[in-house]
Amino acid sequence: MRTQSSQEEARDAAAATVHRMLVHDAGEERIPILLVAGRDDLPEVAARMGTPYCLAKGSRDYGTALLAILERALRERRAPSTA
């Protein structure tokens, strides 16, 4: 039985690492980002970042608004886009 060379072992280890990373990261590109800040220009910042989900701190009925936008983000699953 032939044994693997150290070069072959390194190649196999690298391939296994790449596979683990691929499996681990699968779907992360679809994670929505919610911006919460006290800035006056929050909608513009969110637009530049490409996320439709933002909420100003101190908003009226903040708790209810936060739950609503989180629910929307999880339902839509729109990841940031710079398009």
3-state SS assignment for residue 80: coil
Can you give the pTM of this predicted structure? Answer: 0.63
What is the per-residue pLDDT for 34?
Answer: 94
Beta bridge pairs of residue 9 = none
Name the token pair of 7: 């070069």
The confidence band for 82, taking pLDDT boundaries of 50, 70 and 90, is low
Instruction: Match 């996320």 to its residue by tokens.
Output: 51
Name the token pair of 78: 């729109």
Each residue's pLDDT tens digit, 17-73: 877 777 776 776 778 999 999 999 999 999 998 999 999 998 889 999 999 999 999
Rounded-to-integer distance, Cα 72 and Cα 74, Å: 5
Pair 55, 69: CB distance under 8 Å:
yes
